[in-house]
A and B are shown apart, each in its own frame.
Chain A
């Protein structure tokens, strides 16, 4: 099992953001997470990447993640993107991707200072891989551009490139298509599936775009008020009573736009 989450509970000063959440993700799976605003989706990701300290258990291929620092979790092959982007504004697109590839490059301050050949070879290889990623994601025109100067859509792509540059086993995507139009979303789905196939990724994705999640995911977890209200195939979730009522009783997954349903849902 790639990812196993058991009895995950997270409280902020008496408020339970997550309550006894448990699920499993198999290797190679595309796993979607749905839920209205405030359902605890991003909190769940923060638990998985070590930014908060919940109780319970999270294992990746049998290794416990809880209690580890974020950079240690990254070392285990878990990468994530941020909803509001975690880019390094003054660096170039290539620079950002190379930061993402940090764990794949060898050498520290000393070996770099002394121009250790092995360090620079590893650096060169990382740059070649970064170039491949740049081409794959169609970022060629922005290779040396400073990230701060790029439009939002491009930055979202850089964010994903940065995450996969680490060569992860498990990729966590936090609302990757928020703010994109239909065409951009389709494009995104295409290249994420391509990345997944090429790199043998297991992907867990949070997204508000219900039809897109239903279309792309192998299985889906539905959350509401920090609790699991259903896990299953898109078909099963589509017919899950609690999921439907969480989305205001409208049949979820119908072709109605997702956003209005969500805003009507909770809070």
Chain B
């Protein structure tokens, strides 16, 4: 009896009423909950850095935002368009050095130099796109490795812009005129450069994510996925496959460039060495581990992949089997500097083997089931209890 009674009550809750008007999937927020969450996120971007004092935490979360931004770009290319590249780091570097040139050397305002890094990354990508997109699979990956080596050569041999091997420092302006993220003052309180920069980084990231979601859910995004899944059929449907692939590559480079500009602003010192194969690999691992072709994958991936090595370095003495440095030779342990590589490798292997859809899928599934539980608890707070049927069955058994 209990079963037949509860079933009709629960069903509409689980599956949702068939909407009277069909839902428009191109909208940014499909439910009220999403709209509220989006607003909360924007408030948090401002409130978090202003209420957190730890410089370590601010710089860590800032770094996560920067890597998430670069990974967001790579996700367009690898997740949506299905092209693999290890060379995303080179475009980050191009953005960083463009930022040095525009924001540091030329002392241009924020509204010029930051978009400038976006354009620089995009232009550089447009330059190599015709070549790399003609290739497939292994050739494409090896070519992306080649871009890293050639890019590195270019970086160290343009010392006027990059400082050569030694690197170059820059102090770009973070001022929008009416508001200066570099020396933020709210209600008489002065905040640090890092706190202001955090807000800038995460606002740029949020805007970029919204832009990417908008693209993904409309004509351009569908074209990308269609080309990935069946290129000929996509062409027959009127999609210029070559063009959308180039666009994806340019967008990937542009977001990488933007991330590079912000990285330059965060470190105020950049060096060619940073933008090598390790960063390229890290970014690829972020998108794969976070979840290819997902909205939150780059952020989740960056939060996990980029923060663990930093945390390990910070708390090395409290973690067993970690060596803070090499002075204690003879002692068995993993040097702190290697934790990054270890985590990247381990995370990549585990995700590929156990959950190729990535961490954001795991988190998403977890979140949805929590939400379901919460809703069930709310709707069943009246007399009809969900466990009843189970109790009956248990009684019979």
Contacts and interface: CB of A to CB of B under 8 A. Distances in A.
A and B touch in the complex (CB under 8 A): yes
A102 interface: yes
Given A70-B235, A112-B215, A99 B222 contact: yes
B94 interface: no
B254 to A, nearest CB: 11
Contacts of B230: 86-89
Interface residues of A, number: 42
Interface residues of B, number: 31
A263 interface: no
B216 to A, nearest CB: 9
Interface in A107-142: 107-109, 112-115, 119-120, 123-124, 127, 131
A21 interface: no
A187 to B, nearest CB: 24
Interface in B224-262: 225-226, 229-230, 232-241, 247, 251
A89 B24 CA distance: 21
A51 B241 CA distance: 13
A70 B236 contact: yes
Nearest to B247: A109
Given A91-B222, A94-B25, A99-B226, A113 B241 contact: no
A112 B223 contact: no
14 contacts: A51-B236, A74-B238, A82-B236, A86-B233, A88-B233, A89-B229, A99-B237, A102-B219, A112-B218, A113-B215, A123-B26, A127-B25, A131-B22, A162-B237
Interface string A91-107: 10011001110110111
A131 B19 CA distance: 14
B215 A109 contact: yes
B212 interface: yes
Interface of B: 22, 24-26, 28, 211-212, 214-215, 218-223, 225-226, 229-230, 232-241, 247, 251
Contact of A120 (B218, B232, B236, B247): B218
Contacts of B218: 105, 107, 112, 119-120, 123
A90 B225 contact: yes
Contact of B241 (A71, A80, A100, A120): A71
A108 B239 CA distance: 12
Nearest to B238: A74
A222 B234 CA distance: 30
A100 B22 contact: no
B225 A123 contact: no
A127 B25 CA distance: 9
Contact of B225 (A69, A88, A106): A88
A88 B235 CA distance: 12
B25 A100 contact: no
Residue of A75, A90, A98, A107 with highest tally of chain B CB at under 10 A: A98
Interface of A: 49-51, 69-71, 74-75, 79-80, 82, 86-91, 94-95, 98-100, 102-103, 105-109, 112-115, 119-120, 123-124, 127, 131, 143, 162, 166
Contact of B222 (A49, A95, A131): A95
Residue of A79, A82, A94, A120 with highest tally of chain B CB at under 10 A: A120
A33 B233 CA distance: 22
Contacts of B234: 88, 99
Contacts of B225: 88, 90-91, 95
Contacts of A100: 237
Contacts of A87: 230, 233
Nearest to B224: A109
B214 A107 contact: no
A102 B236 contact: no
A119 B223 CA distance: 15
A116 B32 CA distance: 22
Contacts of B241: 71
Contacts of A107: 218-220
Contacts of A80: 236
B25 A71 contact: no
B211 to A, nearest CB: 4
B26 A91 contact: no
Nearest to B215: A112
Contacts of A95: 222, 225
A90 B227 CA distance: 12
Nearest to A126: B219
B212 A86 contact: no
A88 B221 CA distance: 13
A266 B100 CA distance: 71
A114 B26 contact: no
Contacts of A88: 225-226, 229-230, 233-234
Given A51-B232, A88-B230, A166-B237, A115 B223 contact: no
A143 to B, nearest CB: 8
The 6 A-B pairs of least Cβ separation, nearest first, read A86-B233, A74-B238, A113-B211, A70-B235, A103-B238, A88-B229
A109 B233 contact: no
A120 B226 CA distance: 20
B358 to A, nearest CB: 15
Given A112-B214, A115-B214, A123-B26, A102 B233 contact: no
B26 A127 contact: yes
Nearest to B244: A109
Nearest to B234: A99
A109 B215 CA distance: 6
A109 B220 contact: yes
A79 B237 CA distance: 7
Given A88-B230, A90-B229, A112-B221, A71 B235 contact: yes
